[in-house]
Every structure is written in structure tokens, then in C-alpha cells.
């Protein structure tokens, strides 16, 4: 079974699901794709939507009740897509915004669409100092990081993890985003594949087609780790060890035969 760590499934609180019916439709799509656990991650701090911890927890309770009523057996965990703002480290420390699953181990962090603010690493380091691992949401969709993946590598070297959006891999956001996804995944800079679903049409909670693409670009072990095992670890309240990824990146089959032959 699959875990989706980034999904706007809570109704009416951001630009994701508009109403409960749509959330239930998204839940059914997720189950059809083999997803059994979803982190509900509404936008927070992005200048448009504000979804502090308690508001999200209340919404998660409401959605869980509705799912149970409809006999849809999908596990919902609380979370937030926290925009990178100077007040984020303090909000995580005093519990006014959510970590993943409210476990206090990792937090989903969103960068602007086109830029990487100068203060980014400083904010990330302050979060890391609290023993919370920032997970960079969809770096492949950031214009600057597409051109300068070395800046993402620096964040990973600091101790951050990163999440690619499933439909970036399958081409929904265009060839440049798809190529960046391939490059970042093949370079070992990505630790999670997640849907970032917003609707029951087009941007849907579906991960499996992306994992087939990831397998083609890398190998089955990489797809297993970033598509299944690492997300599942997060759902257990653990933080996955990225070194497991380094090991399988070097596994036989991850490089063309001529490279293996002559090395
Ligand atoms: Fe999102």
C-alpha cells in the first residue's frame, strides 16, 4: 500500500478540495490507486491561506468521521504545507503550525514558485536545530532550483529531505518540470513521491503512474524507497534515513551496462 505525504484533501480551507463531496471523491481515487494513508497538508503562511495547527486537527477529525460514515477506509494524518517565512521555526517550536502527522519529527516546507529567498538556508537550519527535518515540497516546480539544482543539494546536505510531485514525473506541468524531476530523482535529491492533489479531476491523488516512470529513470529499488518505504516511515512517525537511497542508487541496474563494465 502507498502513503501520500502531500495532499490538499481537506475541504474548503485552501485551494484544494472545494467541499466534502469532492474530498470523498478524492479519497476513492486514492484507494483505487493503492493509497491507504494520506497526510492532509493544507497551505499555511503562504500569504493567502492560514491554517494553524488546531484548525487543521479539527478538520481532520471531521473528514475522518465522514470517511467512516461512507465506509471509506482511508487513514488521514494531519499536516501542513508551510510556506517558508521567517516566523516558521518559532511556529513549529510553539506548536501553532503542524509537523507531519503532528509527530514533531518532520515538516513540509514550500518555497516560492520562481525564487529561493536569501534567508532560506538560515530558516531551514533553525528548523533543523529543533530536530525537525524540513521536507522541501516539489523543488522541481521552482524555477530557480530547476536551473540551479546544486542549491537543492546544499539543502539536502544540511539535512533536509525533498518531495517530488507525482504528476511532475508524468508530464502534467510540462517538459521542463518533467526533466527536472528526472534529474533530481536520478541525482538522489528526492526522498518522497507524493500527489499534491487538489481535486478529483486532473490534479488527483494518484502516485502509481509516477512510480512506473521513476523505475524507468532509475531502478525498482529507488522507486520502492521514495514511493513506498520512506513515505510509510513518515506515517509511522519516523524520519527515513536518506543513506538507504544512496545505497540503491549505486545498485546494479542503476547505471548503464557500459559504465558498470568499465568501472
Ligand atoms: Fe501543495
User: How many distinct structural domains can be found in the chain?
Assistant: 1
What's the CA-to-centroid distance between 145 and ligand 1, angstroms?
17
- Per-residue pLDDT tens digits for 17-57: 999 999 999 999 999 999 999 999 999 998 899 999 999 99
Distance 138 CA to ligand 1 centre (A): 8
User: What separation in Å is there between the alpha carbon of 127 and the centre of ligand 1?
Assistant: 20
Q: Which residue segment(s) compose the domain that 151 sits in?
A: 2-262
Classify residue 48 by burial, with Cβ atoms within 10 Å: 0-12, 13-18, 19+.
Answer: exposed
pLDDT score for 156: 98
Cβ atoms within 10 Å of 175's Cβ, excluding its own: 8
**Cα(105)–Cα(111) distance, integer angstroms:** 20
Grid coordinates representing 23 are 474530498
Distance 77 CA to ligand 1 centre (A): 15
The Å distance, Cα 70 to ligand 1 centre, comes to 26
Give the burial string for 7-25 (b: 16+ CB within 10 Å, else e): bbbbbebbebbeeeebbbb
Give the Å distance between the CA of 238 and the centre of ligand 1.
22
How confident is the model at residue 180, as a pLDDT?
A: 98
Q: Residue 131: give its domain's CATH number.
A: 3.20.20.140
Query: What spacing in Å lies between the alpha carbon of 221 and ligand 1's midpoint?
Result: 26
CA of 83 to the centre of ligand 1 (A): 10
Q: Which residues surround ligand 1, an ion (CB under 5 A)?
A: 81, 196
How does pLDDT run along the chain (263 residues), one tens digit per residue?
999 999 999 999 999 999 999 999 999 999 999 999 999 999 999 889 999 999 999 999 999 999 999 999 999 999 999 999 999 999 999 999 999 999 999 999 999 999 999 999 999 999 999 999 999 999 999 999 999 999 999 999 999 999 999 999 999 999 999 999 999 999 999 999 999 999 999 999 999 999 999 999 999 999 999 999 999 999 999 999 999 999 998 655 555 545 545 54
Contact 48, 92 (CB under 8 A): no
Distance 175 CA to ligand 1 centre (A): 20
Question: What is the pLDDT at residue 249?
Answer: 85
Q: How far is the CA of 258 from the centre of ligand 1 (A)?
A: 40
Amino acid at each position: 500500500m502507498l502513503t501520500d505525504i502531500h495532499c490538499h484533501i481537506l475541504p474548503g480551507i485552501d485551494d484544494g478540495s472545494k467541499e466534502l463531496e469532492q474530498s470523498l471523491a478524492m479519497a476513492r481515487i486514492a484507494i483505487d490507486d493503492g493509497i491507504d494513508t494520506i497526510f492532509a497538508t493544507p497551505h499555511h503562511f503562504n500569504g493567502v491561506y492560514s491554517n494553524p495547527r488546531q484548525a487543521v486537527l479539527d478538520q481532520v477529525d471531521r473528514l475522518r468521521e465522514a470517511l467512516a460514515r461512507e465506509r471509506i477506509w482511508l487513514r488521514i494524518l494531519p499536516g501542513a504545507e508551510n510556506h517558508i517565512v521567517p516566523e516558521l521555526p518559532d511556529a513549529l517550536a510553539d506548536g501553532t503550525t503542524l509537523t507531519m502527522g503532528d509527530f514533531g519529527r518532520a515538516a513540509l516546507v514550500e518555497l516560492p514558485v520562481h525564487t529561493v529567498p536569501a534567508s532560506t538556508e538560515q530558516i531551514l537550519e533553525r528548523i533543523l536545530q529543533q530536530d525537525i527535518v524540513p521536507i522541501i515540497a516539489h523543488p522541481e516546480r521552482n524555477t530557480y532550483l530547476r536551473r540551479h539544482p546544486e542549491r537543492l543539494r546544499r539543502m539536502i546536505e544540511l539535512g533536509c529531505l525533498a518531495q517530488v510531485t507525482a504528476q511532475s514525473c508524468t508530464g502534467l506541468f510540462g517538459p521542463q518540470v518533467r526533466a527536472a524531476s528526472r534529474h533530481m530523482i536520478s541525482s538522489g535529491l528526492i526522498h518522497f513521491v507524493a500527489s499534491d492533489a487538489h481535486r478529483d479531476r486532473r490534479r488527483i491523488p494518484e502516485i502509481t503512474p509516477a512510480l512506473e516512470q521513476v523505475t524507468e529513470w532509475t531502478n525498482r529499488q529507488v522507486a520502492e524507497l521514495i514511493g513506498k518505504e520512506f513515505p510509510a516511515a513518515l506515517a509511522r512517525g519516523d524520519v527515513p534515513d536518506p543513506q538507504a537511497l544512496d545505497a540503491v542508487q549505486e545498485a546494479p541496474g542503476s547505471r548503464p551496462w557500459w559504465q558498470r563494465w568499465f568501472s
